[in-house]
Copies of this chain bind each other. A is one copy, B any other.
Amino acid sequence: MCIQTELQRFQTEFNQTLVQTFSQLPNDIAPKLHQAMEYSVSNGGKRLRPFLLQIMAKVLAIDPKLIQPAAVALECIHSYSLVHDDLPAMDDDDLRRGKPTCHIQFDEAHAILAGDALQTLAFELLINADVQTDIKLSWVKILAQASGYQGMCGGQSLDLEAENKSVGLESLANIHSLKTGALLKAAVSMGCAAQRNLSDEQKQKFERFAELIGLAFQIQDDILDVTATTDALGKPQGSDQKSNKSTYPSLLGLTGAVHKAEQVFQSALEQIEDLPYNTQPLMDFAQFIIKRQH
């Protein structure tokens, strides 16, 4: 089955899992917050992080049911970060994938709270997961490190600080590795944590692969911000230029950025080509997120 079809099938299933997750959360405690939280995760997202984790489960022969709480937790963290990023004080975006952002649909206060509570929910799901204790502990550790000061939040801060400034390639890579890469890597690390037979060296190769596809993903994102239409993106095209951000195309030119994405992509594949697992699904995933057009 081609990866697009597989992703679509996964999205349908995963969206049902999300509906189930929220139906298990009593909606009468704080109804508006419940709505804002569910709205924020039900936004037609690509579900790339949970999908990557599911692919890792396939590659490492882990029961896909077992990693489900980790998949939902990853998406909760990703969704909360989008809700907060969209706020007027941050990127000030009214649209996300063609739909009103959370603070437009509800209000700013509930967008802040929905983000906060989605973050908490992520850790709650992990700690209540029906898996062995050491896996649970690893998951919480991985997700906390990837999403906090030393990961996603740190990257978001650096990204804000870099606006209207000229930033070099190394700084740009660092910003993206924290802001976007850390959570993609977490998806892979959470998969590795659920498979005890993995050696440290194998784990490191999977994680290095994740870091590199994270970087390639971001370069592609920068490229699409220049080349794609607002319609295809589901968000305003050219928003990087609008906010005067350094991007791969602005630093390397469009052709240079395309070349760089390809180079990083190849380097990612090299990491996992000799592993004693059928890593083809991961290679397909890498290909897919780098060749995507929106």
Chain B residues with CB below 8 A from A30, complex form: 149, 153-155, 157-158, 161, 178
A157 x B127 contact (CB < 8 A): no
A127 x B137 contact (CB < 8 A): yes
A147 to B116, CA, bound (A): 9
Q: Which of A125-148 contact B (CB under 8 A)?
A: 127-128, 133-134, 136-137, 140-141, 144-145, 147-148
Also in contact, A154 and B33, with CB within 8 A (given A123-B140, A127-B141, A149-B121): yes
B112 x A90 contact (CB < 8 A): yes
Given contacts A30-B154, A110-B157, A120-B144, 16 further A-B contacts (CB under 8 A): A26-B150, A29-B150, A29-B154, A30-B161, A30-B178, A32-B161, A37-B149, A84-B116, A89-B107, A89-B108, A89-B109, A90-B112, A113-B160, A117-B149, A123-B144, A124-B145
Chain B residues with CB below 8 A from A147, complex form: 120
Q: How far is the CB of A160 from chain B (nearest CB, A)?
A: 5
B26 x A117 contact (CB < 8 A): no
Chain B residues with CB below 8 A from A158, complex form: 30
A25 x B149 contact (CB < 8 A): yes
Give the B-binding residues of A (Cβ under 8 A): 25-26, 29-30, 32-34, 37, 80, 84, 87, 89-90, 103, 107-113, 115-117, 119-121, 123-124, 127-128, 133-134, 136-137, 140-141, 144-145, 147-150, 153-158, 160-161, 178
Chain B residues with CB below 8 A from A156, complex form: 113
Copies of this subunit: 2
A33 to B30, CA, bound (A): 30
A10 to B73, CA, bound (A): 36
A144 x B161 contact (CB < 8 A): no
Chain B residues with CB below 8 A from A155, complex form: 30
Q: How far is the CB of A147 from chain B (nearest CB, A)?
A: 6
Closest 8 CB pairs of A and B: A120-B148, A89-B108, A33-B157, A30-B154, A124-B144, A117-B153, A30-B157, A117-B149
Nearest B residue to A142 by beta-carbon distance? B127
Which of A29, A37, A116, A128: most chain B Cβ within 10 A?
A: A116
A33 x B107 contact (CB < 8 A): no
Nearest B residue to A174 by beta-carbon distance? B29
Chain B residues with CB below 8 A from A115, complex form: 116
Chain B residues with CB below 8 A from A29, complex form: 149-150, 154, 178
Also in contact, A124 and B141, with CB within 8 A (given A149-B30, A161-B32): yes
Q: How far is the CB of A258 from chain B (nearest CB, A)?
A: 29
Q: How far is the CB of A148 from chain B (nearest CB, A)?
A: 3
A156 to B158, CA, bound (A): 29
Chain B residues with CB below 8 A from A113, complex form: 84, 153, 156-157, 160
27 sample A-B contacts, Cβ–Cβ < 8 Å, listed by A number: A25-B150, A29-B178, A30-B149, A30-B155, A30-B157, A30-B158, A32-B157, A32-B161, A33-B157, A84-B113, A87-B109, A87-B112, A89-B103, A89-B107, A89-B109, A90-B112, A109-B160, A110-B160, A112-B112, A116-B119, A116-B153, A120-B144, A120-B149, A121-B148, A127-B141, A127-B144, A133-B134
